[in-house]
Chains A and B, each alone.
Chain A
Amino acid sequence: MTATSLEEPPAPDGPPGADRPPPSRARRRRPRPGVRTGLLLLPPMLWLGVAYLGALAALLITAFWSQDDFTGEIQRVWTLDNFRQLFTIDVYRTITVRTLLIAALVTVVDAVLAFPIALYMAKVASARAQRLLVIAVLMPLWASYLVKAYAWRAMLSENGLISWLLAPFGLDTPGYGLVATTVTLAYLWLPYMILPVFAGLERLPGSLLEASSDLGAHSWTTLRRVVLPMAFPAIVAGSIFTFSLSMGDFIAVTIVGGTGQLLGNVVYNNVGAANNLPFAAAVATIPIAVMLVYLAVVRRTGALENL
Chain B
Amino acid sequence: MRKISPRRTGTRRSGARRLGVLAGVALLAVVSGCGTSGGGGSSPSANGGFTPPDVPMKQSLGSMEGQVNILAWPGYAEDGSNDPKVDWVTPFEKQTGCQANVKYFGTSDEAVKLMKTGQYDVVSASGDASLRLIAAGDVAPVNTDLVKNYADISPFLKDRDWNSVNGQMYGIPHGWGANLLMYNTDVVKPAPTSWGSVFTGASQYAGKVTAYDSPIYIADAALYLMKHQPGLKITNPYALDSDQLQAAVDLLKKQRQNVSEYWSDYLKEVQAFSTGDSVIGTTWEVIAQVAQGEKVPVKAVLPQEGSTGWSDTWMVSSKSQHSNCAYAWMDYITGPQAQADVAQYFGEAPANPKACDLTAKNFCDAYHASDAQYADKIWYWTTPISNCLDGRKDVQCTDYGDWTQAWTEVKG
| CA–CA, A104 and B98, complex, Å | 55
Question: Which residues of B sit under 8 angstroms from A266, Cβ to Cβ?
Answer: 408
Question: Which residues of A sit under 8 angstroms from B38, Cβ to Cβ?
Answer: 76
Question: Which residues of A sit under 8 angstroms from B18, Cβ to Cβ?
Answer: 38, 41, 45
Q: Is the CB of B44 within 8 A of A48?
A: no
Q: Is the CB of B109 within 8 A of A275?
A: yes
Interface residues of A in 9-61 (CB under 8 A from B): 16-17, 32-35, 37-38, 41, 45-46, 48-50, 53-54, 56-58, 61
B399: CB under 8 A from chain A?
yes
Q: Is the CB of A4 within 8 A of B260?
A: no
| CA–CA, A172 and B196, complex, Å | 29
Question: Which residues of A sit under 8 angstroms from B40, Cβ to Cβ?
Answer: 68, 73-76
Q: Is the CB of B4 within 8 A of A6?
A: yes
**Interface size bucket, A side?**
35 or more
A273 — nearest CB in chain B belongs to which residue? Answer: B109
| CA–CA, A118 and B303, complex, Å | 58
| CA–CA, A71 and B53, complex, Å | 11
Q: Is the CB of B30 within 8 A of A61?
A: yes
B5: CB under 8 A from chain A?
yes
Q: Can you list, as one digit per residue, whether each of B276-309 has a CB less than 8 Å from chain A (1) or not (0)?
A: 1100000000000000000000000000000000
B208 — nearest CB in chain A belongs to which residue? Answer: A158
| CA–CA, A261 and B5, complex, Å | 44
Question: Which residues of B sit under 8 angstroms from A307, Cβ to Cβ?
Answer: 1
Q: Can you list, as one digit per residue, whether each of A103-128 has a CB less than 8 Å from chain B (1) or not (0)?
A: 00000000000000000000000000
| CA–CA, A179 and B41, complex, Å | 45
Q: Can you list, as one digit per residue, whether each of A263-282 has a CB less than 8 Å from chain B (1) or not (0)?
A: 00010011011111000000
Q: Can you list, as one digit per residue, whether each of A174-206 has a CB less than 8 Å from chain B (1) or not (0)?
A: 011000000000000000000000000000000
A305: CB under 8 A from chain B?
yes
| Given contacts A70-B132, A175-B260, A258-B260, A275 and B112 within 8 Å (CB-CB) | yes
| CA–CA, A199 and B7, complex, Å | 26
Question: Which residues of B sit under 8 angstroms from A17, Cβ to Cβ?
Answer: 7
A144: CB under 8 A from chain B?
no
| Shortest Cβ gap from B132 to chain A (Å) | 6
Which of A3, A176, A261 has a CB less than 8 Å from the CB of B411? Answer: A261
Which of B22, B109, B411 has a CB less than 8 Å from the CB of A48? Answer: B22
Q: Is the CB of B29 within 8 A of A69?
A: no
B401 — nearest CB in chain A belongs to which residue? Answer: A69
B207: CB under 8 A from chain A?
yes
Question: Which residues of A sit under 8 angstroms from B256, Cβ to Cβ?
Answer: 259
B331: CB under 8 A from chain A?
no
Question: Which residues of B sit under 8 angstroms from A75, Cβ to Cβ?
Answer: 40, 43
Q: Can you list, as one digit per residue, whether each of B1-37 has a CB less than 8 Å from chain A (1) or not (0)?
A: 1111101101101100110011001110110011000
Q: Can you list, as one digit per residue, whether each of B97-132 has a CB less than 8 Å from chain A (1) or not (0)?
A: 000000000010110110010000000000000011
| CA–CA, A272 and B386, complex, Å | 23
A222: CB under 8 A from chain B?
no
Q: Is the CB of A57 within 8 A of B275?
A: no
| Shortest Cβ gap from A35 to chain B (Å) | 8
| Given contacts A69-B401, A158-B277, A261-B411, A54 and B33 within 8 Å (CB-CB) | yes
| CA–CA, A6 and B260, complex, Å | 52
Q: Is the CB of B262 within 8 A of A259?
A: yes
B339: CB under 8 A from chain A?
no
| Given contacts A50-B26, A91-B412, A176 and B261 within 8 Å (CB-CB) | yes
B135: CB under 8 A from chain A?
yes
Q: Is the CB of A45 within 8 A of B400?
A: no
Greatest chain B CB density within 10 A among A4, A69, A159 is at A69
| CA–CA, A248 and B230, complex, Å | 44
Q: Is the CB of B22 within 8 A of A157?
A: no
Question: Which residues of B sit under 8 angstroms from A58, Cβ to Cβ?
Answer: 29-30, 33
Which of B39, B110, B135, B405 has a CB less than 8 Å from the CB of A76? Answer: B39
| Shortest Cβ gap from A213 to chain B (Å) | 29
Question: Which residues of A sit under 8 angstroms from B41, Cβ to Cβ?
Answer: 71, 73
A79: CB under 8 A from chain B?
no
Q: Is the CB of A273 within 8 A of B26?
A: no
B-binding residues in A (CB < 8 A): 3-8, 16-17, 32-35, 37-38, 41, 45-46, 48-50, 53-54, 56-58, 61, 67-76, 85, 89, 91, 94-95, 153-154, 157-160, 175-176, 257-259, 261, 266, 269-270, 272-276, 302, 304-305, 307
A-binding residues in B (CB < 8 A): 1-5, 7-8, 10-11, 13-14, 17-18, 21-22, 25-27, 29-30, 33-34, 38-41, 43-44, 46, 107, 109-110, 112-113, 116, 131-132, 135-137, 207, 214-215, 256, 259-262, 271, 275-277, 383, 385-386, 399-402, 404-405, 408-409, 411-412
**19 pairs, A vs B, C-beta closer than 8 Å:** A7-B5, A41-B18, A53-B25, A54-B25, A54-B30, A57-B27, A69-B402, A70-B399, A71-B137, A89-B409, A91-B408, A175-B207, A259-B262, A259-B411, A259-B412, A266-B408, A273-B110, A273-B404, A276-B401
